[in-house]
Amino acid sequence: MMPVSDYSEAVDDLVKAIEIDHENSEYYAKRGWAYYRLKRFTEAEKDFNAAIRLSGDNNAPAYEGRAYVYKDIEKFDESKNDFCTAIEKYYNEGNYEAAKSCLKLVMPMDNDSPKVLFWAGMIAQNVDKNYNKSTELYSTLIGKLGNPYQPAVTYRNRGESYLLQENFDAAVADFSKAIETDSNDIVAYKKRADIYFYHMKDYSNAFADYKEVLRLNETQKIFTDDEQEKFQKNINICWDSFSVIKRFQVKVSYPEYKFQGLFLCLFLIMVVDLFSELIGNIRDPQVRGSLGLFVRSVAVKMFILFLTDMVGIVDRSDLNDRPNILYQIPFVNGSIRNFFLLLFILYQITYAINNLKRAGMPVPDWLSNLINSIINMIEGRFRRNPPPNN
């Protein structure tokens, strides 16, 4: 520590500097420290207040200095709050030694404070790499307070501590709690997805979490293009691992796949039409009636199940426990799917027009000719140049 005379000279020099540039927050902070060393606490507090105001509330040394002033004049609550603020600002600046120094001073004052426990856990985890200690501190914070300081971050941080200790079940539970607290916590989604994918081989949940990460990143812009490409590769690996049943579940769970739902509905209608015509040729009326009733009841059930699934009305959590022929339908992707979808729609329109004509309803010939021309054109183009299977 410098002699008192040196601090007095420092005050005189800083007074002159402030007269020249009275908006310089660093001058006020330095003079505040000089006043503090001279035990002129009132002047020190005023200078630290000025430094904080002029720096836009972003001056860690000024908060630390004011915390020392409050500690010496026995304003312990104010001192504790300023030490915690200084810890946060030093930590965010990467000045971990200064943050740890402030933590050592504030811990004896109040080691049960939410802020103190939170920052003690952050330093133990990310600076000291003491994951047992950080887990214990976060657990104390959560257990004692119920609704801890920065709850989503607290659960996520404890999840990271569990992850680094390879306690994957506990980590997933904490990341899930963080997401429950803050549904936009993209980091928690990413951490949980990585555990599902790399450690638990739970590709179903990994798929869902990586999809959510990509969705949230559209607005939050946290992950780079390279990182997003990696997530997409993991999504593709998850998809390749799915059974046909699971792929159907995924397709009805995400908006980008809903278009294929229309294809399946129309395909179902065509199958029912075909069976109806075949059944109509059976001579025995009893057999014809029974088969017709069976086909229609199955078709209605499948159609309703599919539509409710497509709009998300039913819970698909027990999908694998309720076998249904609907979920066995294979899929056609890309251009092939779009081609057949258009063709099926046109065929259905043609079928409806012919039924109207047979019933004696006036249907303009130009409409029938137009539809038939489009169908012939599509079929001819397909025969010459079949669309690729994407």
CA distance linking residue 165 with residue 157, whole number of Å:
13
* Residue-level pLDDT at 146: 57
Per-residue pLDDT at 36 exceeds 50: yes
Task: Answer whether 315's CB lies under 8 Å from 253's CB.
Answer: no
For 322-353, the pLDDT digits (tens) are: 333 333 334 434 444 455 555 556 666 666 66
CA distances from 130 to 90, 114, 143, 183, 321 (A): 20, 20, 20, 29, 44
How many Cα atoms are found within 13 Å in the side-chain-facing hemisphere of 383?
A: 5
pLDDT band at 298 (very low <50, low <70, confident <90, very high): low
Per-residue pLDDT at 357 exceeds 50: yes
Per-residue pLDDT at 381 exceeds 70: no
* Residue-level pLDDT at 315: 37
* Residue-level pLDDT at 320: 39
* Residue-level pLDDT at 113: 83
For 188-247, the pLDDT digits (tens) are: 999 999 999 999 999 989 999 999 999 999 999 999 999 999 999 999 898 888 765 566
Span 32-36, average pLDDT = 95
Which of 17-21, 193-197, 299-303, 378-382 reaches the highest mean pLDDT? 193-197
**Does the model's pTM come out above 0.75?**
no
Per-residue pLDDT at 290 exceeds 90: no
pLDDT band at 300 (very low <50, low <70, confident <90, very high): low
* Residue-level pLDDT at 256: 53
* Residue-level pLDDT at 199: 95
* Residue-level pLDDT at 239: 83
* Residue-level pLDDT at 115: 87
For 43-100, the pLDDT digits (tens) are: 999 999 999 999 887 899 999 999 999 999 999 999 999 999 999 999 999 999 999 9
Residue 69 neighbours by CB under 8 Å, 6+ apart:
36, 41, 44, 45, 48, 79
Lowest mean pLDDT segment, chosen from 30-34, 188-192, 365-369: 365-369
pLDDT band at 302 (very low <50, low <70, confident <90, very high): low
Residue 156 neighbours by CB under 8 Å, 6+ apart:
174, 175, 178, 185, 187, 188, 191
Span 104-108, average pLDDT = 92
* Residue-level pLDDT at 242: 76
Core vs surface per residue 330-361: b (16+ CB within 10 A) or e? eebeeebbbbbbebbebbebbeebeeeeeeee
Per-residue pLDDT at 5 exceeds 70: no
CA distance linking residue 221 with residue 213, whole number of Å:
10
pLDDT band at 370 (very low <50, low <70, confident <90, very high): confident
Which domains occur in the chain, in start order?
A: 1-110 (1.25.40.10), 256-384 (no CATH)
At residue 193, φ and ψ (nearest 5 deg) are: -60, -40
The chain-wide mean pLDDT, for the chain, equals: 78
* Residue-level pLDDT at 150: 83
For 128-169, the pLDDT digits (tens) are: 999 999 999 999 988 865 556 788 999 999 999 999 999 999
* Residue-level pLDDT at 200: 94
